[in-house]
Amino acid sequence: MEGNLYIFSSNTSNSLLMGKTGVIIQARMQSTRLPGKVLLPFYNNRTILDIIIETINSLELPIILAIPDDNDNDILENKFYGVSIFRGSNFNVLERFINAAKRYNLSYIVRVCADNPFLDRALLLGLLDEIKGPIDYISYKINGIPSIKSHLGFFAEVVSLDALIKVLKSTSEVKYLEHVTNFIYENDGLFNIKWVETKDCFDIDDNIRLTIDTSEDFIIAQEIFKINYPEINSNKVLSYLKDKKEIKSLMHQQIYKNTK
């Protein structure tokens, strides 16, 4: 069963007014390191998904929760979030995004991962402001890599439906079917890519990890979220963490543990 699609007007850019840009949140219950993490109580009985959707709602864009079509993920469809639900392949996530975008007539997709409760609204708006003309991919770059690959957890990315279709036609490699946009920025000569500048603060410390993959990540992020709530944004959180050597040491351990 699919939910209603809520389409709003927005003053962010002319392209948004056409109703062709929407947010697709990638979520599943079968996380290898922390199964069911998206539905665990994170703050005030709200889950990570609850918090992410609250942040995105303020953008006044259609929101689609794109989940796998197997039985393990029925609970995500049955939990009411007030957003549209699209179900597709568990393993071919690229195809899941393409079919979701086609179903809801989206030309541009704001891709959000469901493990980032610190998603920054201002940074999202910065990406949306760059949707001008025929662009395939829009992202921030942090320490020389696409922000979606960093451990910071503040970021989303924007990709065109046309670019995703081009990827699907170009490769059947499992890596690129699972990681939706990797092929684009690894083959930048084939795509029109826009890198958005960030403030210097994002280039200072690569030991900060606020994306959630493990139970250790979850506990650390919970405490930081609780202390900084209700003003959750990248500037405030980074300022809070600046002199927190013990916390950053724990984060560094998680980065090493999950990337070695």
pTM of the model: 0.91
What angle do helix axes 215-228 and 234-241 make, rounded to 10 degrees?
Answer: 110
Structural domains present in the chain: 14-202 (3.90.550.10)
Q: Which amino acid is at 111?
A: R
The number of beta carbons lying within 10 Å of the beta carbon of residue 1 is: 6
**pLDDT at position 80, please?**
66
Task: Output the CA torsion sign for 158, 164, 170, 171.
Answer: positive
Cα Rg, the chain, nearest whole Å: 17
Give every CB contact of residue 104 below 8 A, 6+ residues apart in sequence. 5, 22, 62, 64, 84, 86
144 φ/ψ sector (left φ>0, alpha ψ -120 to 50, else beta): left
**pLDDT at position 12, please?**
36
Task: Output the CA torsion sign for 62, 65, 69, 75.
Answer: negative
d(CA 223, CA 227): 6
**pLDDT at position 79, please?**
84
Mean pLDDT in consecutive groups of 10 residues from the start of the chain, 260 residues = 31 44 96 94 96 94 96 89 92 98 97 97 96 94 91 96 98 97 97 91 84 97 97 95 95 87
Return the SS3 of 232.
coil
